[in-house]
Amino acid sequence: MENKQESKEMVILVDEQDCEIGAAPKLEAHCCGWLHRAFSVFLFDRQKKLLVQRRAKNKYHSGGLWANSCCSHPRPGEETFAAAHRRLREELGVDCEFKELFTFIYKAELDKGLFEHEYDHILIGCFDGPLRPDPKEVMAWQWLSLDQLKDEIKNKPEQYASWLRLSLEEVINRQQEIF
């Protein structure tokens, strides 16, 4: 179910080179499948385990699915890294430094007649402290090795968000750049 904050939220529309071409309401961009800027944060602990979160059921799409540590969209006029720091604090009650590992474009059909069409910035960080997740955003979380997560997705793909399924293989391929 969409909440009032999400219905007012704006996203940055981009071309295939990630150049800004406009802005649109978040829900409209997802209804129409317009390409927009996004980020996906992958937080690893010292044991090289990835924090995955189960999205709250009330999210406007993909509620109840497992996803990477944090994902969202920068607002118009907001830098991608600043947005990632903001959403880490809002969703998980934490913050840390991170770097961009890669970018990719994907389009996926979601539930509720919505589409993701994103120029996604994959950001990598390290974090070992306590989490304080917002229950309106996150219903569960766990730390998994990349191999464990790959096996889980292979066995139960319907339980995982499309952007995680699509980006994980490249994250695995670039492990030497992470650790």
Q: What is the pLDDT of residues 42-85, one digit of tens each?
A: 999 999 999 999 999 888 788 899 999 999 999 999 999 999 99
Look up the CATH number of the domain holding residue 54.
Answer: 3.90.79.10
Q: pTM for the full model?
A: 0.93
Which of 71, 91, 116, 137 is an active site residue? 71
Q: What is the largest CA-CA distance in the chain?
A: 42
Rounded Cα–Cα distance for residues 42 and 100 (Å)? 10
Verify whether residue 177 is a known catalytic residue: no
**Mean pLDDT, all residues of the chain:** 94
Q: Give the pLDDT of residue 144.
A: 98
Verify whether residue 71 is a known catalytic residue: yes
For the segment 131-161, what is each residue's pLDDT rounded down to a tens digit?
999 999 999 999 999 999 999 999 999 999 9
Which of 70, 91, 116, 118 is an active site residue? 118
Q: Is position 165 within any domain? A: yes
Residue range of the domain that includes 162: 10-177
Q: Is position 38 within any domain? A: yes
Q: Is position 114 within any domain? A: yes
Q: Is position 1 within any domain? A: no
Q: Is position 4 within any domain? A: no
Q: Is position 158 within any domain? A: yes
Q: Is position 144 within any domain? A: yes
Q: Is position 61 within any domain? A: yes
Band of pLDDT at residue 179, cut at 50, 70 and 90: confident
Band of pLDDT at residue 2, cut at 50, 70 and 90: very low
R_g of the chain computed on alpha carbons: 15
Q: How many domains does the chain divide into? A: 1
